Every structure is written in structure tokens, then in C-alpha cells.
Amino acid sequence: MKSEGGKRLLGLICLMAMISFTACLRAHGNDIDTAGDPKKPVDKFEWHPLRYDSTKKYIYLSFDDGPQHGTVTCFDLCKKEGVKASFFMVGLHTAQKSDGKQIVSMIRDGYPEFLLANHSYTHALGKYHSFYHHPLQAEEDFFQAQDFLHVPYKIVRLPGNRSWVRNGEVKATDLVHPVAHLLDSAGYNVIGWDAEWHFRTKSARPVQSATRMAAEIDNALACGDTHVPNHLVLLSHDRMFQHPSDADSLAKLIHILKQNHNYVFETVDHYPGLKKPHSGL
Ligand SMILES: [Zn+2]
């Protein structure tokens, strides 16, 4: 028969075990509650600068405005072709789409082949002048997207705007400069673009053929007509590739570019001269 002291000790041990078990369950529950378990892939977001090969030219495919119809097509296609790509995503589009959070998580978890980046929460609701005219509200909009989407790095693209903010460099128009400066002070990099695959306003279908787009890319790199020589950021939009024939155009562009063995596909966190982009997620 156990003594009173022994029983008390046993009771205390049981109580402590229950408390730690409950705390463990709660912590696990928190992980599941957050969008796509952002804590799980944190380790792989340990960021390292890239060593550039001077004999190569770097292409940064980027897709804007997702999640939208077309996002998964772009992701699957780039994965199948083994090329890296960056997705600048929008908080509101994520909230409005039933599978929005899963798609964002798929992109985030796809690192280092795929990069999730910040394209604001509201996308300025299409009213760009008013958005940039209120810099503090605009900055807050990016912070909201950063938190909501669990964006791993401090990398944004401004909606409807081609500004650049890197280490010690802010390149923006007078209207946008205050927002760019605020983001710079908060440790963010802003990525513009060098070439754009345009789309038709109503149908969202690509304007240039794949062959034409590849020629524009070749030409810009050959002539040094890029923000940084030998590095080219291509802007396109997820929704351009929702039709199978347009997805074929994207595949064709990638095939053409891959034939040039001097081209390397990278994600924009490896664009030259960025401030160390880790957001500390
Ligand atoms: Zn956009």
C-alpha cells in the first residue's frame, strides 16, 4: 500500500503530464488552424545569396494577381518543365476563392523551385492613383497581405506599377516614391519587370505569340536592355493561361528559352542586389 506522500507525488506527476499533453495539443491545433501550416516549411526558407555565373543569363518568370483561374496551370506547367518561377499573389483574391488558401500554400511550399511574393492585399481595388496618394494606408495594405498570405520573404510588386526598390536604390515615379520609400525603410524589396507578356483586356488572352515573346526576351538580354544586365524579369499574369491553347503557348515559350543553354531560370529572391529578404516567418 502506498503512503499518502507517494499518492500525492503520483497525483502531481499525472497532473503535470495532463498539462503538457494539453499544451502540446493546443500548439498542434494552432499549426493546423493557420493557412496551410506555414510553420512546417520554415527551415527551407533559410535564405542564401546566389553565386552568379558570368557566362549565364538569368530569367525570372513571374506571374501576378493569383490565386486566379490559371494559377494551378502555371504552377503545374513550370513544375513539369523543371523551371523556377515566382508568384506575386493578392490577399483579397485568396480570401474570395474557395481554394485560395490551398493554392497559396502550394506555391509557398514549392520553394525553392517556386516563390510566393507579396502583391498587396487589395490590389488597390484598381484605383491606383488614390492608393499611392495615401502612402501609409498603402504600406499597411502590403503588411496585411504579408501576414495573411504568410509570405516568406520581404519581396513585393506594386499593383499596376513598375517601381524597383533594392539595396540602396529606389526607382519610382513621384506619385509612388513615398510608398516605395516606406517599404524600403521597413526592409522590403520591390521587384518591377523588364519585359511583359501583354494580355487582351476583355479575354485576358496573351497578345504576343510564344515565338514573339521569346524574341523580345532574347533581344532585351542581348542589348542589355534590362534593369540589371544579364538578368531579365518577365511579367505575366496567371489568368492569361487558363485556356489550354494559351497554356500551350506558355509551354512553348519555356521550350524555346530552354534551348538556350546560357539561360538559367531563377526565383526573384535571387535577383541581384536585394536587401536580405527574409521576413522572419
Ligand atoms: Zn497586379
What was the pLDDT predicted at 26?
A: 38
Q: Is residue 34 part of a domain?
A: no
Distance of CA 136 to the CA centre of its chain: 22
Ligand 1 centroid–CA 166 distance in Å is 20
Look at residue 10 in the predicted model and tell me its pLDDT: 56
Q: What local confidence, expressed as pLDDT, does residue 28 receive?
A: 36
For residue 80, is it within any domain? yes
* Centre of ligand 1 from the C-alpha of residue 160, in Å: 6
CA of residue 89 to ligand 1 center, whole Å:
8
Per-residue pLDDT tens digits for 9-57 = 555 554 554 444 444 333 333 333 344 455 554 567 888 889 999 999 9
Q: Where are the alpha helices (DSSP H) in the chain?
A: 4-33, 71-81, 91-96, 100-109, 128-133, 135-149, 177-185, 210-223, 244-258
Q: What's residue 278's pLDDT?
A: 79
Contact in structure between 248 and 256 (CB atoms under 8 Å): no
Residue 18 within any structural domain of the chain: no
Report the separation in Å between the CA atom of 239 and the middle of ligand 1, taken as the mean of its atom positions: 11
Side chain identity, residue 277: P
Residue 36 resides in a domain = no
Please give the tally of structural domains in the chain.
1
Question: Residue 14: inside a domain, yes or no?
Answer: no
Note down the domain range covering 84.
56-270
| Alpha carbon of 125 to ligand 1 centroid (Å) | 10
Does a structural domain hold residue 112? yes
Alpha carbon of 254 to ligand 1 centroid (Å): 22
Q: Which residues contact 167 (CB under 8 A, 6 or more apart)?
A: 189, 273, 274, 275
Q: 222 CA distance to ligand 1 centroid (A)? A: 28
**Ligand 1 center from residue 245 Cα (angstroms):** 23
Q: What is the pTM of this model?
A: 0.84
Kindly report the CATH number assigned to the domain that includes residue 122: 3.20.20.370
Would you say residue 99 lies in a domain?
yes
Residue with cell 509570405: 151
